[in-house]
Amino acid sequence: MKTNEIVSDTKLKKGSRELALQSYISLIPLAGGLSVSGIFFVLEMFTPLYMSLGVAGFGIAAMIGNLSFRQEHFKNEFMKVFNVKIQIENKKKIENIKKTLNNQKAVKQIELFEQKHDRFEEVLNNQLNSTSLAYQRLIGGFDQLNLIALNNIEKVLNYESNMVNIDLNYITKELETLNKKEVLTDYEESEIKSLETRISLRAEYEEKINRILSDNERALTKMDITLANLTELRKPENMKHVLQELQDLSEVLNKKAGSYN
């Protein structure tokens, strides 16, 4: 599953269903019973055959039970596994970005996103059991939102690297020298166009960086508003409202991310 979007009800249901079908409680007896029943049938060993079919039947019953009566359990398990994956990805990305990122505003934004996450987690711990599905969905949603923001900051790093390779001082001096000439050769005119193109590219990178940082500032503000409204999260309607706010913000950031390329 993609890690740049909040887990929807549909995706959660699908993921938990896959976990339920893969549960060893049902798979082992089902697979084991069916695999040996064929042998017993060929050998006409009917008592062991009936026993092996009974074991397989237990596996089928366990599978039906998982799908029918243990949905919440597998939804919770799915979210726990997925959240760990997101947290690891977040941690690695932060470490990699901080090693080489020069833009101080972007560095500060990373710190602010981490602070918002810590505060969000603190509020959840005060209102919900950390093993509950509601907790896992909300903390997972916030983690995914942070990851989207980090992906955008990672683009700042890429654009920074591109800008470093365009030496503005060198280009400016070359243009000054060429523009002082009264008559230009064809290759000099071509050189001017190339130099001006590089200046334009550098300006584009700078403009994209500014847009990313501006969009992240709006996301941080939205996070503050969400944090201020975290009340009575044990009520399903309140939990769903917060989750929807996180979903809406993630969609906005993802949509904007497409415009940075």
Residue 67 banded pLDDT, cuts 50, 70, 90: low
- The chain-wide mean pLDDT, for the chain, equals 84
pLDDT band at 74 (very low <50, low <70, confident <90, very high): confident
Written as one string, the DSSP assignment of 219-241 is: HHHHHHHHHHT---TTSHHHHHH
pLDDT exceeds 80 at position 1: no
User: Which residue type is seen at 247?
Assistant: Q
The pLDDT value given to residue 109: 93
- Identify each DSSP E strand in the chain by its residue range: none
What pLDDT is attached to residue 43? 73
Supply the pLDDT for residue 200: 94
Residues 132-154: what's their mean pLDDT? 91
What pLDDT, on the 0 to 100 scale, is given for residue 123?
A: 92
Q: Residue 3 above 60 pLDDT? A: no
* pLDDT tens digits for range 184-239: 888 988 999 999 999 999 999 999 999 999 999 999 999 999 888 888 888 889 88
Q: In this predicted model, what pLDDT tens digit does every residue of 7-58 receive, in sequence order?
A: 777 888 888 787 777 776 776 766 676 676 777 667 767 677 667 767 667 7
Alpha carbons within 13 angstroms on the beta-carbon side of residue 253 total 30
Domain map (residue ranges) of the chain:
1-69, 71-258
- Per-residue pLDDT, 236: 87
Task: Decide: 62 and 69 in contact? Cβ < 8 Å.
Answer: no
240, 9 in Cβ contact below 8 A?
no
62 pLDDT band, cuts 50/70/90, is low
pLDDT bracket for residue 4 (50, 70, 90): low
